[in-house]
């Protein structure tokens, strides 16, 4: 059984990068009337309480969404479209007057995960397929879908997301977004992600594929961005890669691990608006989230 629970990490710096990019991608893809099909291979529980025990135990949101909010008050525009649009989606899950920790200045109590962000931005003609294998998170996600009356557009699959994709792409409308966000608890996830990209681009060359990965000190993690870029290039498809590191990835002076220091998002067939939006947003995100002189970002595109 997997031990990873996203509730301990919700709203951290990796979620900020991933979800801000996801909002921008979904907003672009829902501009055309033709139905969009979104497949979320690793969905999580859908919605997380930032004032709940799990988020408070790790305190990761303090280095993520709350750090961004210190620079960009939820109510005030940041002058950056990508950040403002992301914050506008988060605001939809946080009705006014319900602070996370009253008196702390933290204005956000609920943090939406990828399936709820997608559900919020999809239209009646679109479809969302969400895969989740953890029994507790499946139950929580199903409860949210029912509560939000979203059963018409959302189908939950209690199954392995890597293999479940095969039956769903290409979608009937030939317009699709694949979101792949494993926990990388097991080393084989790195290879599975590359295989998934290879296979999906063979069967659905024009589909947009969105892949998150952690920046950690292991060879598989180090090699992953290069392998993904090569895979897309070999298939003749454009790609975008963005990463954000908020601190040194080395252990601290007492030898204790520092936690996740950075992450990256690879997008095959990216919307053309994503690169210019990130060019504007990444310096602002870095400024708000950086913790030491090792912080930095990258933004690359290729064919
Ligand atoms: C990083 S979390 C997902 C977070 C979510 N995508 C978000 O952005 O809000 C990874 C999730 O994948 C689930 N998971 C792990 N292996 C899986 C598999 N083979 N298929 C589907 N879900 C899986 C875990 O239980 C966990 O909830």
We report the CATH number of the domain holding residue 165 as: 3.40.50.150
Residues 6+ apart with CB under 8 A from 141: 43, 44, 45, 46, 115, 130, 132, 156
Q: What is the pTM for the complete model shown?
A: 0.95
Ligand 1 pocket member 132 (CB < 6 A): yes
The pLDDT assigned to 101 comes to: 54
Q: How far is the CA of 218 from the centre of ligand 1 (A)?
A: 20
Q: How far is the CA of 160 from the centre of ligand 1 (A)?
A: 9
Q: How far is the CA of 44 from the centre of ligand 1 (A)?
A: 5
Residue nearest to atom 1 of ligand 1 (CA): 183
Strands 239-245 and 296-302: antiparallel
Ligand 1 pocket member 292 (CB < 6 A): no
Residue nearest to atom 9 of ligand 1 (CA): 113
| DSSP for 157-208, written as a single string | E-S-HHHHGGGT-S-TTS-EEEEE-----STHHHHHHHHHHHHHHHH-TT-E
136: helix, strand or coil: helix
Q: 91-126: string of b/e by CB count within 10 Å (b at 16+)?
A: eebbeeeeebeeeeebbbbbbbbbbbbbbbbbeeeb
The pLDDT assigned to 275 comes to: 98
Residue 70 lies in a domain: yes
Q: Which two tokens stand for residue 244?
A: 């954000």
The pLDDT assigned to 55 comes to: 85
The pLDDT assigned to 138 comes to: 95
Residue 157 lies in a domain: yes
Residue 252 lies in a domain: yes
Ligand 1 pocket member 161 (CB < 6 A): yes
- Domain tally for the chain? 1
Ligand 1 pocket member 60 (CB < 6 A): no
Range of the domain at 64: 6-302
Ligand 1 pocket member 160 (CB < 6 A): yes
The pLDDT assigned to 256 comes to: 60
The pLDDT assigned to 136 comes to: 95
Residue nearest to atom 26 of ligand 1 (CA): 44
Dihedral sign of CA atoms 21, 180, 202, 36 in order = negative
Report the nearest atom of ligand 1 relative to the CA of 15: 8
Residue 126 lies in a domain: yes
Grouped pLDDT means (10 residues each) for the chain, 303 residues? 86 98 98 98 97 86 93 62 95 79 67 98 97 96 94 95 97 97 95 98 98 96 98 98 93 68 98 97 94 96 96
Residue 1 lies in a domain: no
Report the nearest atom of ligand 1 relative to the CA of 9: 1
Ligand 1 pocket member 183 (CB < 6 A): yes
Q: Which two tokens stand for residue 100?
A: 């996370």
Q: Residue 45: how many CB atoms within 10 A of its CB?
A: 23
Residue 261 lies in a domain: yes
Q: How far is the CA of 186 from the centre of ligand 1 (A)?
A: 12
Residue 213 lies in a domain: yes
Kind and range of the H or E run holding 265: strand 262-268
Query: What are the Cα distances from residue 231, in Å, to 137, 180, 181, 238?
Result: 32, 16, 18, 10
> 154 exposed, middle or buried (CB, 10 Å; 0-12, 13-18, 19+)?
buried
């Amino acid at each position: 059984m997997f031990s990873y629970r996203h509730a301990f990490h919700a709203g951290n710096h990796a979620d900020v990068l991933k979800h801000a990019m996801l909002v921008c991608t979904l907003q672009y893809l829902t501009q055309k009337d033709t139905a969009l099909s979104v497949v979320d291979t690793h969905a999580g529980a859908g919605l997380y309480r930032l004032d709940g025990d799990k988020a408070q135990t790790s305190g990761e949101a303090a280095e993520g969404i709350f750090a961004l909010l210190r620079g960009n008050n939820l109510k005030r525009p940041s002058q950056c479209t990508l950040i403002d649009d992301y914050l506008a989606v988060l605001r939809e899950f946080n009705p006014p007057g319900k602070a996370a920790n009253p008196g702390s200045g933290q204005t956000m109590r609920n943090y939406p995960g990828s399936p709820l962000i997608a559900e919020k931005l999809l239209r009646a003609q679109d479809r969302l397929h969400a895969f989740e294998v953890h029994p507790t998170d499946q139950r929580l996600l199903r409860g949210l879908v029912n509560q939000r009356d979203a059963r018409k557009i959302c189908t939950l699959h209690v199954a392995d997301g890597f293999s479940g994709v095969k039956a769903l792409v290409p979608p009937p409308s030939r317009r699709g977004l694949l979101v792949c966000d494993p926990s990388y608890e097991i080393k084989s996830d790195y290879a599975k992600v590359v295989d998934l990209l290879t296979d999906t681009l063979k069967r659905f060359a024009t589909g947009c594929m969105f892949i998150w990965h952690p920046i950690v000190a292991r060879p598989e993690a180090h090699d992953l961005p290069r392998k993904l870029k090569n895979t897309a290039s070999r298939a003749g498809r454009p790609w975008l890669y963005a990463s954000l590191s908020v601190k040194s990835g080395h252990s601290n002076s007492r030898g204790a691990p520092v936690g996740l220091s950075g992450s990256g998002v690879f997008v095959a067939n990216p919307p053309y608006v994503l690169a210019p939006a990130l060019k504007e947003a990444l310096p602002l995100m870095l400024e708000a989230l950086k913790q030491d002189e090792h912080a930095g970002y990258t933004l690359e595109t290729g064919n």
